[in-house]
Amino acid sequence: MSFPENRPRRLRRTEALRRMVRETTLSVDNLILPLFVCSGKGVRREIGSLPGQFYFSVDQLSREAEVVANLGIPAVMLFGLPERKDAVGSEAWHPEGIVQRAIRAIKKTVPDLVVAADCCFCEYTAHGHCGVILEKKGNQSVVDNDATLENLGRAALAQAQAGADIVAPSGMMDGMIGFLRETLDEAEQQDVILLSYAAKYASAFYGPFREAAASVPSFGDRNGYQMDVANIREAIREVALDVEEGADIVMVKPALPCLDVIGEVRREFDVPIAAFNVSGEYAMLKLAGQKGLLDYDRAMVETLTSVRRAGADLVVTYHAKEAAQLLTGKR
């Protein structure tokens, strides 16, 4: 029996050989860890919908930032739980808002850690939507795009002035990147990076986050401003608009159901691409691992590698600390 002269399996024979020809690598440098910050003191409370993740008060968040930095993770992304909510989410731009205080605390403790701030209003509004509600039609809502942009500008500026390295608008408002770039530049915050949630789908995989952030809409849904999960050409148009308006990094969210979208964005655009490995994706692996249905560590690394293989340079993931420990051997 004859065999092909070129046998691909020769290159798979040992771990050293596999490493030598590995096409896609996963590094701690690719990871961004989401963190939840809340009011109070001495708070480090596990989040029920996200096993292994915690609510941190500002003082405890500073300690967590040190742990993150020591693991080599280069960046965190902050989500705030305010004490007070209102119709427009005004706590998002208050100088002493929860995220602004958290940014200052982290920068004081770990100056070199890159701090990204999610810039949206769903955690801050009494109704749970991502902007100013123009009108309510039955069980549906219409968001006032332009009024929301004005508030996004206020929130982005507050985050930048607090010391955020990256402002990450996630509400999928039309024109948000151009408006925020102009707002930040006029305030002499030209060095602040804009990471746009450029292709953010109206996904079922956000459920654990919405429970954790108390941001479930009190009426209607977000289908009117987040993307239809069936569309990919629309995603390319959205990314193109944000790149043209000045986005430094573009993000696809969620990650695993959108590997094809990440790949298409990679082929079309020569900018850094992030992908958000969202709460539902994380919770599925966690729960399956806890029940012994799969090898959690292997499945986690495989998942994050697949997102990198699709074309993402950066992965925002709740797995970041555990992945860093596996990749670096640090504990």
Place of tokens 């890159």: 114
Rounded CA-CA distance 80/55 in Å is 10
Look up 200 and say whether it is catalytic. yes
259-303 tens-digit pLDDT: 999 999 999 999 999 999 999 999 999 999 999 999 999 999 999
Q: Is residue 62, in this structure, part of any structural domain at all?
A: yes
85, 200, 286, 321: the active-site residue: 200
253, 286, 321, 330: the active-site residue: 253
Look up 41 and say whether it is catalytic. no
Rounded CA-CA distance 312/271 in Å is 10
Q: Omega into 254 within 30° of 0, i.e. cis?
A: yes
The whole-number pLDDT of residue 110 equals 97
The whole-number pLDDT of residue 2 equals 59
Domain that holds residue 79: 27-252
Give me the DSSP letters along 221-241. -STTTSBPTT-SHHHHHHHHH
The whole-number pLDDT of residue 120 equals 87
7-18 tens-digit pLDDT: 778 889 999 999
- Per the structure, the count of domains in the chain is 1
Residue 44 three-state SS: strand
Q: Is residue 162, in this structure, part of any structural domain at all?
A: yes
Q: Is residue 244, in this structure, part of any structural domain at all?
A: yes
Cβ count within 10 A of residue 207 = 15
Q: Is residue 159, in this structure, part of any structural domain at all?
A: yes
The whole-number pLDDT of residue 184 equals 97
Return the structure tokens found at 295. Answer: 């090898």
Q: Which CATH number goes with the domain that contains 96?
A: 3.20.20.70
Rounded CA-CA distance 141/307 in Å is 33
Rounded CA-CA distance 211/279 in Å is 10
Parts of the chain with a pLDDT under 50: none
303-322 tens-digit pLDDT: 999 999 999 999 999 999 99
Q: Is residue 297, in this structure, part of any structural domain at all?
A: no
pTM comes to 0.93
The whole-number pLDDT of residue 301 equals 97
Helices (H), 85-144: 98-109
